[in-house]
Structures are given as C-alpha cells and as structure tokens.
Amino acid sequence: MNNDEKAIVVTGGSGFIGSNVCELLVASGYNVFNIDRRKRDIPGVTQYPFEINTKQVKGVIELIKPEAVIHIAANNSVPNSVVNPKDTYHDNVEQTISLLNVCVEAGVKNFMFASSSSVYGHSIHEDGAFKETDPMFPCNPYGRTKKICEMIIKDYADVYDMNYSILRLFNVAGSNAGKNGYQKSPYVHVLPIIVEKALTNETFDICGDDYDTADGTCERDYTHINDIARGFLLALHQLFDTGVSNIYNLGNSKPVSVLELIKTVEEELGEDINTNLVAPRKGDMVKTYAAVDFAKNVLGWEPTKSINDIVADELAWQKPKLKRKHNL
C-alpha cells in the first residue's frame, strides 16, 4: 500500500505541533484528516472542527477507517493545570479514553500518542538525562494526566489488539523556517514569552533563581519543531513496518537554563532583555533533558537543530506577527 492510500487521523492538527505534523504527513504522501475544534486551513488536509468526545468524531473515524490515529490534542499548560486541574483531567484523560473507545469500535489498529517529558517529574539522575525505562514521578497535574494516558493506552493495546507509539516530547520550540510557529497567545511556554517580551521591550519574569542547577534557574531540553515532526513520521513508519509498540524520548539532549536561553535570544537580537526575578512557579520541574539513544537506534532519529537554530526560527516567526499587532 502506497502512502497516498493510507488515511491518517490527527487530533489537535490545528495547533503548533499538530499542524507541523500534518504538513509533513501530507508532504510524505499520506491522506490526512484533522480533528480539532479550531479551524485551520492546511493544504492537503481535510478538517473536521469537532470536540474529541462527540458523536461526530465517532462517525468520522468509522467513515474514514484510518490506518492510524495520532492523538496530539491536549490541554498542555503546566501552570493552568496547577490552578485548574479539573479541565486538564477532562481534556487530557477523559477525551483520550473517548478517542480510544472510538478507535476500538472502528477497528483502528495503530495509535500514536503525544506524551511529555513532564511524566518523569523531578530528576533521579545527577545529570538529569531521562531514559524511557526510568520511573515516572510527575510533579504537576499536566504530567500526571500524560502518565495516566500512557497507562490507559497500554491497557487498551493489551486487550484490544492495538499497536501504539508513545512519544515523550521535550520542550518543543522554534518554527518551520519562520512559517509555522507556536500559535497560542498569550503564550504559556518560556521561549515564545521571552521573544515576545524582547521584541516589545517589555520585562520578562524569571521564576526563581535558587534551583539546584549551575546558575540557579530551571533547565530544559528545547527541541526544534522540525525534529519533532520528523520523529512522528519515523515512529509512524516503524509502527506500520513492524507492528511493535514502543515509547520514545524526542529531545535535543542538551539542557539549557532560563538565563542561557535569555542570553541566546539577546545574542540573536543584538540587544539586552529586561528581566525581573519573581517567585518560582508551582509544579515546575528543576532540570530535564532526554536520553535519545533508543529513538536513534530504533527509528534512526536524532535532533538536527541547535538552540541557536531554534531561537532564530522563533524570532523569524514572531517578528512579522508582532509588527502587525503592535505597529513596530
């Protein structure tokens, strides 16, 4: 069967990660269907603007009979999950169960899930590198929802003859050559916030400087969206070719602190950023980065973009948007 004969359903295909995955799937010859309540015109993608836990979604999947479902849709804000866990558990856990039930009834055999590095929680290694086999101790509701979903997917796969691929994503950032970056505003992720504050000459709040890291600020593993999208494609091919279920870390394997990230943006811009120190955010992990040996060995995947590439592409994405918004 050629790729252009294979139907793939993507949930959350209108968002940052989902839209980039959809674009790459189309470019690779797949017939792509996007289920997302937010309408977005993506060339070559058929849009269904529905909530996941609706009868319409059941009808769509039964009609399409996809070769695989890629579940990316999620409530992905850690701070919001801390103050409003009810919505996070509904959006992430209840809707995943609803989607899995539809897949079982429709006979879908391949299920891919966008999980998160947040499932690991506070580092259990001195160097902070997480392996897929490490225990999961999530330290916020968002991370706990992802852990729960992983467990549910495994249970469904065992009972209902389903293959799965779970991708644990580490701090996805950047844009596709300045054309398709993070959409949501106000932003909830660090790099888009820093860039927006820098371009509008506003002050960026550093949340804590007494963490157990080299410079006292949190460290994260920023991974370019192009690398992440390619990881989804390779994992899909692996699932089709082998039918073997696996969990993969997708990360850059290089932790970057908040202060280092600010410095990188300053260097790219050629000007200083105004900063202000505030209290640490509840639920934040101290340090996290990925060991990606398994993804490299099984998928042939490894990151290709540096933190400088990520920052440059984030700037290329935001500059024209902010010029229009603020008349810069």
Instruction: Give the per-residue pLDDT at 328.
Output: 54
Between CA 218 and CA 211 the distance in angstroms is 7
Report the SS3 class of residue 29. Answer: coil
Strands, E assignment, the chain = 7-11, 31-35, 45-48, 68-71, 110-116, 129-130, 163-169, 172-173, 204-207, 219-220, 223-224, 246-250, 256-257, 275-278, 289-290
- Kindly give the pairing relationship between strand 68-71 and strand 45-48: unpaired
Which residues are bridge partners to 181 per DSSP? Answer: 175
Task: Assess if CATH 3.90.25.10 describes domain 190-219+254-288+304-323.
Answer: yes
- Listed by start position, the domains of the chain span 3-173+222-250, 190-219+254-288+304-323
CB 230 within 8 A of CB 277: no
Between CA 154 and CA 322 the distance in angstroms is 43
Between CA 18 and CA 45 the distance in angstroms is 12
Instruction: Give the per-residue pLDDT at 197.
Output: 92
Question: Running DSSP on this structure, what letter comes out for residue 121?
Answer: B
**Class of the CATH-defined domain 3-173+222-250:** alpha beta
Burial class (CB in 10 A: 0-12, 13-18, 19+), 126: exposed
Instruction: Give the per-residue pLDDT at 127.
Output: 61
Instruction: Give the per-residue pLDDT at 129.
Output: 87
Measured N-to-C along each axis, helices 258-269 and 190-199 cross at an angle, to the nearest 10 degrees, of 40
CB 112 within 8 A of CB 71: yes
Report the SS3 class of residue 54. Answer: coil
Instruction: Give the per-residue pLDDT at 125.
Output: 60
Q: Would you give per-residue pLDDT tens digits along the chain (328 residues)?
A: 466 679 999 999 999 999 999 999 999 999 999 999 998 999 999 999 998 888 899 999 999 999 999 999 999 889 899 999 999 999 999 999 999 999 999 999 999 999 999 999 975 665 668 999 999 999 999 999 999 999 999 999 999 999 999 999 999 999 987 788 877 655 668 899 999 999 999 999 999 999 988 999 999 999 999 999 999 999 999 999 999 999 999 999 999 999 999 999 999 999 999 999 999 988 888 888 999 999 999 999 999 999 999 999 999 998 887 766 656 5
Catalytic residues: 142
CB 256 within 8 A of CB 221: yes
Instruction: Give the per-residue pLDDT at 1.
Output: 45
